[in-house]
Amino acid sequence: MTDLSAFDLRRYVTGQSQSVGVWIALVVLILFGLLRYDNFGSAYNLSSFLNYNAMFIVISVGMCFVIMTGGIDLSVGSVAAFTSVVAAYLSPYGLQVALPGAVASGLAIGALNAFFVIAMRIPPFIATLATMLGAKGGALVISGAETISVDWESNFTSLGMGQAFGLLPWSFVLTVIVIVALWIVLEQTSLGRTVLAIGGGEDASVMMGLGVVRAKIFVYMLSGGCAGLAGLFLASGFGAGQPLEGVGWELSAIASVVVGGTLLTGGMGSVGATVAGALLLGLVFNILNFENGRGVISLSAYWQMVIRGGFLFVVILLQSRVAASANKERH
Partner 1 sequence: MTTSTLSGLNIANVSRYGGVFALFAILLFNVLVTPNFLQAQTLFVNISQVATIAIVAIGMTLVIATGGIDLSVGAIMAFSGALAPLILLSDFGTASPVLGVAAAIILPVLVALLCGLFNGFMVSRMNVQPIVATLIFFISGRGLALVLTNGNLQTFNNPAFSYLGTGRLFGLPFQGWLVLLIAVAIWWVVARTIFGRQLLAVGGNERAARLSGIPVRRVKTGAYVICAGLSGLAGLIVVAINSASDAARIGNLMELDAIAAAVVGGALLQGGRAPIFGAILGAIIIQLVKYTLLANGIADEVAMIAKAGIIILAVYVQQSRTE
**Whole-angstrom Cα distance, residue 121 to residue 6?**
41
Which of 118, 176, 191, 263 forms a contact with partner 1 (CB under 8 A)? 263
How many angstroms separate the Cα of 31 from the Cα of each of 36, 51, 163, 165? 8, 21, 25, 25
Q: Which residues pair with 163 in a beta bridge?
A: 169
Q: Which is nearer to partner 1, 6 or 141 (CB)?
A: 141
Please list, in sequence order, all residues whose beta carbon lies within 8 angstroms of the beta carbon of residue 283, skipping any fewer than 6 positions away. 26, 29, 30, 33, 49
Check binding of 116 to partner 1 (CB under 8 A).
Answer: yes
For residue 164, the cross-strand partners are: 168
Q: How far is CA 103 from CA 62, 115, 225, 292, in A?
A: 13, 18, 5, 37
**Which positions from 264 through 283 interact with partner 1, judged by CB under 8 A?**
264-265
Nearest-approach distance from CB 240 to partner 1, in angstroms: 18
Please tell me whether residue 82 binds partner 1 under the rule CB under 8 A: no
Is residue 326 involved in binding partner 1 (CB under 8 A)?
Answer: no
DSSP characters over 17-59: HHHHHHHHHHHHHHHHHHHH-TTTTSHHHHHHHHHHHHHHHHH
Are the beta carbons of 124 and 66 closer than 8 angstroms? yes
Q: Find the shortest distance in angstroms from Cβ 258 to partner 1.
A: 5
Residue 171 to residue 4: CA distance in whole angstroms = 27
- Distance in Å, CB of 134 to partner 1, minimum: 4
Q: Which of 13, 24, 27, 141 binds partner 1 (CB under 8 A)?
A: 141
Query: Do residues 55 and 62 make contact, with C-beta atoms less than 8 angstroms apart?
Result: no
* 199 forms part of the interface with partner 1 (CB under 8 A): no
100 versus 201: smaller Cβ distance to partner 1: 201
| 316 part of the interface to partner 1, by CB under 8 A | yes
Residues near partner 1 (CB under 8 A), total: 45
Q: How far is the CB of 129 from partner 1 (least distance, A)?
A: 7
Binding segment for partner 1 (CB under 8 A), chosen from 175-183, 199-207, 284-292, 295-303, is 295-303
∠ CA 166-167-172, nearest 5°, is 120
Q: Residue 138, interface with partner 1 (CB under 8 A)?
A: yes
Contact positions vs partner 1 (CB under 8 A):
72, 116, 120-123, 125-127, 129-134, 136-141, 145, 248, 251, 254-255, 258, 263-265, 300, 302-310, 312-313, 316-317, 320
